[in-house]
Structure 1
Amino acid sequence: MNSSAGTAQGFDGRTKALKRYILFDHDGVLVDTEFWYFTAGERALAEVGVTLDKDRYLRDMGQGLGTWEQARAAGVDERTIERQRAVRDEYYQEYLRTEAIEIEGVLEALAELSQYVRMAIVTSAKRRDFDLIHERRRIRPFMDFVLVREDYGLGKPHPEPYLTGLVRLGATREETLVVEDSARGLNSAVAAGIDCAVVHNEFTASQDFSRAVHRIGALSELTEIVRRAS
């Protein structure tokens, strides 16, 4: 990794610090799970007579809300919501075990990036789900550490998750890049004062990413972004 300090000219003409660290979101960035999480919630709500509207779900998700806001709006009581939340989690784990959630090119991109930057994961995933996903995958060895939902108090879009990641890395905002696929995650990075690259995910593609510094189609494009500044 090139660890020398320095600056580079950004595409908008501003002088920016070189990126020496990357904080990755997880779901939708490193593994293709966003659709299955939605589907698990959709299935759980259908059991109590509620149809989960995808467009509203995506809007709510951008504000740190999600499945259960629609349940409450439909008059579902909190006791039932808690029961169906557990059901949703069971369905989601079923999908994690049985569905193909790999994203092509992720391992190759991480191997290339590891020559230039230190990396970590900051995810909203629960530890149980994260561990299940990575029982037989080879992503974790590229990471300095992983922060799951139990490792911080306030979730995305609050800045706490990424600020916690900065502290763990011993990094400054200026030399760090966040990689996200959702408006919720982008808003978290922006609130933390960290540049964010949004990678295309078909499921979240309709969300507002106007505050992203970079829009990329695949993680392989990050290598060029980092190398241009090295």
Structure 2
Amino acid sequence: MKKYILFDHDGVLVDTEFWYYKAGERALVDIGLTLDKEQYVRDMNQGSGTWAQARAAGIDEQTIGRQRAVRDAYYQEYLRTEAIDIDGVVDALAELSRYVRMAIVTTAKRADFEIIHEKRQISRYMDFVLVREDYRLAKPHPEPYLTGLKRLGAGRAETLVVEDSLRGLNSAVAAGIDCVIVHNEFTRSHDFSAASHRIDTLIELTEIIRR
């Protein structure tokens, strides 16, 4: 039986992936570029996303830096105004807390995370949260999940990672931790063949950890 769960955040616990994409799209429209969604999803696996297309179009780094700040402002606007809850998440966490200790390991920035969780109950079920500022190398590098293991005092074999993207899956695999992929329409085209399990909702984790 697994004793610990390390959760990714965006797309797993809150429905934010689409709005991050829309913020980048809007920031590029401001400088006359159209963000191709399919290419964005492919680039996202490599950790580049929005700005790969900007660079390919010849946009200079100074402009990209300026528009990155614009994108971040748009994203925070969406976080405050759009519906990003995922049905059943809080109930699933309440049930899972009977069996395991849990934490969040996310590439979200601290400022964004705090906006998201100002009025939500998700964090109350977590031992801790690691945001992007809490480690040096981002997913798909194993450092984020290895940092989570160390913080929990957990072994790889007794831990489960829950992800929704190929980049996150690769991070978990590189850290030597079994990974469950939860369905996310935004990342459904990713190759998840290395995942230990595929689920549609978090409540399905209960049966997995009790096996």
TM-score bracket relative to the smaller structure: over 0.9
Letter in 1 for 2:140: P
Structure 2 portions without partners, runs of 5+ = none
Larger C-alpha radius of gyration, 1 or 2? 1
The separation in 1 between residues aligned to 2:2 and 2:56, in whole angstroms, is 43
1:104 aligns with 2:51: no
Corresponding residue number in structure 1 for 2:65: 82
2:2–2:210 contact (8 Å) kept in structure 1: no
Normalising to structure 1: TM-score of the pair? 0.91
Q: Which residue of 2 aligns with 1:4?
A: none
Measure the CA separation in 1 of the matches of 2:176 and 2:38. 28
Q: Secondary structure at the match of 1:27?
A: coil
CA distance in structure 1 between the partners assigned to 2:88 and 2:69 by the alignment: 33
| Structure 1 unaligned blocks of 5 or more | 1-17
- Residue 174 of structure 1 aligns to a residue whose secondary structure is helix
The partner residue of 2:199 within 213, 216, 222 is 216
Aligned to 1:166: 149
Q: Are the equivalent residues in 1 in contact too, given 2:109–2:133 (CA < 8 A)?
A: yes
Give the alignment of 1:47-58 within 5 angstroms: 47-58=30-41
- State the percentage of identical aligned residues: 77
Displacement of 1:48:
1.1
For the pair 1:67 / 2:50, whether they are aligned, the reply is yes
Name the residue aligned to 2:129.
Answer: 146
Q: Stretches of 4+ moved more than 2 A in 1?
A: none
- How big is the shift at 1:224? 1.0
Task: Please give the secondary structure, in 2, of the residue aligned with 1:19.
Answer: coil
Deviation of residue 64 (structure 1)? 1.8
Cα deviation code 1:107-139 (max 9, x no counterpart): 010000001000000000000000000000000
Q: Distance in 2 between matches of 1:210 and 1:63?
A: 17
Whole-angstrom CA distance in 2 between matches of 1:161 and 1:56 = 25
Equivalent position to 2:19, from 36, 54, 60: 36
Query: What's the CA shift string for 1:68-101, capped at 9, x where partnerless?
Result: 0110000000000000000000000000000000
What root-mean-square deviation, in Å, do the aligned CA atoms of Structure 1 and Structure 2 show? 0.6
CA deviation profile, 1:112-171 (whole Å, cap 9, x unmatched)? 000100000000000000000000000011000000000000000100000000000000
Identify the range of structure 1 (99-108 vs 55-64) with the bigger mean alpha-carbon deviation.
Answer: 55-64
Identify the range of structure 1 (213-222 vs 50-59) with the bigger mean alpha-carbon deviation: 50-59
CA–CA distance in 2 between the matches of 1:182 and 1:105?
A: 20
CA shift, 1:56, in A, is: 1.1
Q: Determine which structure has the larger helix proportion and give its number.
A: 2
Match of 1:130 among 67, 90, 113: 113
Is contact 2:135-2:144 (8 Å) kept? yes
Letter in 2 for 1:188: S
Matched AA of 2:12? V
Query: Tell me, what secondary structure is at the counterpart of 1:223?
Result: helix
- Whether 1:118 aligns to 2:104 is no
The Cα shift of 1:51 comes to 1.1
